[in-house]
Amino acid sequence: MSRNRRTLLRSLGLFALTAFVVTMPYDMNWAGSSFALDYGVIIGMVVLSVSVLGWIGEFTLAVVAQMGFGLVVVNLCQDAGLPFLVIMPVVILSSIPISILLGVFALRLRGVYFAIATLAFGYMAQKTFFQTYLGVQGGFGGTESKAITRPAGFTGSEGFYYLLMGSLLLMALVCWAVNRSWIGTSLTALRESEAAFSVLGHSPGAYKLLTICLSGAIATVAGAYFGMLQGLVPSNYFQPALAILY
C-alpha cells in the first residue's frame, strides 16, 4: 500500500472518529439520558490515569480514593464561591500531596506489594475520611449541604459532554507529549531496568514521583467531574475494591 493511500485512510478514519465524537450526544438521544455517556468519558479519564502508571511498570488501587479527594476539593471550592477556571487548577494542585504520599510507597515497594499498599491507602481513606465527610447519603461535611453543580455554560447535557470530552482529549494529548519526549524515553529505560537506570546517573525516585503525580492529577480531575455529574455522592462510591473494575 502506497504512502499516499495510507495517509488518505488515516485521514478518513480520523475524520470519521471526530464526527462520531462530536455528534455522539445527538446521535444517542434515542437512548434517553446522557448520564451513561458522560460517565463513560469519566471512566476513560480513570483508565488513562491507571495507564500512566504503567509507564513505570506499576499498578495502583488507590485511584478511587484520589477521585474522592477531587470531589471533596470541588465541594469546598464551590462553597467558597470560586469560579470553575480557578477550581480546576486548585483540584490539580491538591492532588500533589496525596500523590507524593503514594510515591513514598513506590520508592520502597514494587509490583504487587505497591498495589497492596495503595489498596490499604484507599481502604483507610474510605473508612476514616469519606464515610465521615460524605456519609451514606452524600451529605458533605455530615450535613445536607447543597450538591456540587456544573460550571456555568455547561449545565446542559450536550455542553457538559463536550467539556468532559475536551478535558479527556487534553489529558491524552499531555500524556502523549510526555511519553514522546525525553521523559518518556527515560521512563522506558527505568521500567526495563531500574538498576541500570541508576548506574547511568539518573534518579529513579524523581521519575517515579513525576509519573505518580501525573497519574494522580488525572484521577483527581476525574473525581471532580464525577461530583459535577452526580451532585451528591455517598461514601460507598469510593470503596477501594471498585478500582479493580477500572
With 0-12 / 13-18 / 19 or more C-beta atoms within 10 angstroms meaning exposed / middle / buried, residue 150 is: middle
* pLDDT, tens only, 70-101: 888 898 888 888 898 999 999 999 999 988 88
Domain ranges of the chain: 37-244
What confidence tens digit (pLDDT) does each residue in 185-210 have? 888 888 877 777 777 777 777 888 88
pLDDT for res 230: 83
- Predicted confidence at residue 89, as pLDDT, reads 93
Distance CA 104, CA 205 (A): 9
Q: Counting Cβ atoms within 10 Å, is residue 214 exposed (0-12), middle (13-18) or buried (19+)?
A: buried
Find the mean pLDDT for residues 56-73.
85
| pLDDT number for residue 225 | 93
Mean pLDDT to the nearest integer, 33-41: 79
Taking Cα atoms as reference points, which of 218, 222, 231, 203 lies closest to residue 54?
218
Model confidence at 113: pLDDT above 70 = yes
pLDDT value, residue 174: 94
Instruction: Report pLDDT digits (tens) over 219-231.
Output: 999 999 998 888 7
- Choose among 162, 134, 169: nearest CA to 148: 134
